[in-house]
Chains A and B, each alone.
Chain A
Amino acid sequence: MQQRTPIEEQIDLPFVESLRISFQSLKIRFGRSIITTAGITLGIAFLVSVWTNNEIGLALQESGRQSTINTFEETTEKGISTKDIWLIVMSLIVCVVGIANSMLMAVTERFREIGTMKCLGALDGFVVRLFLLESGFQGFSGALIGALIGTLGAVLLGLKDYGLDLFFYFPLFPVQPEDGTMRLGVIVVILLGCVLGMILAVIGSAFPAWRAAKLPPAEAMRTEV
Chain B
Amino acid sequence: MADIVVKTEDVVKEYRMGSNILRALDGINIEIERGEYISLMGPSGSGKSTLFNMIGALDRPTEGQVYIDGQNMSQLSQRQIAAFRCHRVGYIFQSYNLLHVRSAHGNVTLPMIFAGIPDRQRNEKAEQLLDLVGLGDRMYHLPDELSGGQRQRVAIARALANDPSIILADEPTANLDTITGREIIDLIKRLNTDQGVTVISATHDLKMLDVSDRIVDIRDGLVERIRNRDEIDIEVGEVGSEGH
Closest beta carbon of chain B to A4's beta carbon, Å? 4
Contact of B85 with A121 in the complex, beta carbons under 8 Å:
yes
Contact of B142 with A28 in the complex, beta carbons under 8 Å:
yes
Q: List the B side residues contacting A219 at CB < 8 Å.
A: 59
Q: List the A side residues contacting B79 at CB < 8 Å.
A: 9-10, 123
Q: List the B side residues contacting A216 at CB < 8 Å.
A: 53, 58-60
**Does chain B have a CB within 8 A of A6?**
yes
Closest beta carbon of chain A to B100's beta carbon, Å? 8
Contact of A121 with B7 in the complex, beta carbons under 8 Å:
no
B residues with CB within 8 A of A: 1, 3-4, 7, 53, 56, 58-60, 67, 69-71, 76-88, 91, 93, 97-102, 106, 110-111, 113-116, 142, 158, 162
Question: What are 18 inter-chain pairs, A to B, with CB distance below 8 A?
Answer: A1-B70, A2-B1, A3-B71, A4-B71, A6-B71, A9-B83, A10-B114, A13-B114, A115-B97, A117-B110, A118-B82, A119-B56, A120-B86, A121-B86, A121-B87, A122-B114, A216-B53, A221-B58
Contact of A122 with B82 in the complex, beta carbons under 8 Å:
yes
**Does chain B have a CB within 8 A of A73?**
no
Residue in chain B with minimal CB distance to A217:
B58
Complexed CA–CA distance, A120 and B1 (Å): 32
Residue in chain B with minimal CB distance to A27:
B101
**Does chain B have a CB within 8 A of A161?**
no
A residues with CB within 8 A of B: 1-11, 13, 17, 21, 24-25, 28-29, 112-113, 115-124, 126, 216-219, 221
Contact of A121 with B114 in the complex, beta carbons under 8 Å:
yes
Complexed CA–CA distance, A113 and B82 (Å): 16
Complexed CA–CA distance, A165 and B101 (Å): 52
Cβ contact of A13, chosen from B59, B84, B113, B142, cutoff 8 A = B113
Residue in chain B with minimal CB distance to A9:
B79
Closest beta carbon of chain B to A112's beta carbon, Å? 7
Q: List the A side residues contacting B158 at CB < 8 Å.
A: 120
Complexed CA–CA distance, A112 and B99 (Å): 9
Complexed CA–CA distance, A112 and B79 (Å): 21
Complexed CA–CA distance, A21 and B111 (Å): 12
Contact of B3 with A2 in the complex, beta carbons under 8 Å:
yes
New A-B contacts (18) at CB < 8 Å, excluding given A8-B83, A10-B86, A13-B114? A1-B7, A2-B1, A2-B3, A3-B71, A4-B70, A8-B80, A9-B80, A10-B83, A10-B114, A13-B116, A17-B113, A113-B101, A120-B85, A120-B158, A121-B86, A121-B111, A121-B114, A123-B82
Contact of A25 with B86 in the complex, beta carbons under 8 Å:
no
Complexed CA–CA distance, A122 and B3 (Å): 29
Contact of A218 with B97 in the complex, beta carbons under 8 Å:
no
Complexed CA–CA distance, A25 and B107 (Å): 12
Complexed CA–CA distance, A17 and B117 (Å): 11
Contact of B67 with A1 in the complex, beta carbons under 8 Å:
yes
Complexed CA–CA distance, A126 and B106 (Å): 17
Closest beta carbon of chain B to A21's beta carbon, Å? 7
Contact of B53 with A218 in the complex, beta carbons under 8 Å:
yes
Contact of A10 with B58 in the complex, beta carbons under 8 Å:
no
Contact of B85 with A118 in the complex, beta carbons under 8 Å:
yes
Contact of B101 with A25 in the complex, beta carbons under 8 Å:
yes
Contact of A221 with B114 in the complex, beta carbons under 8 Å:
no
Q: Which 7 A-B pairs have the closest CB atoms?
A: A121-B86, A10-B82, A121-B114, A4-B69, A218-B59, A10-B83, A28-B101
Contact of A3 with B70 in the complex, beta carbons under 8 Å:
yes
- Known interface pairs A13-B114, A216-B60. Does A121 touch B101 (Cβ–Cβ under 8 Å)? no
Closest beta carbon of chain A to B180's beta carbon, Å? 22
Q: List the B side residues contacting A8 at CB < 8 Å.
A: 80, 83, 87
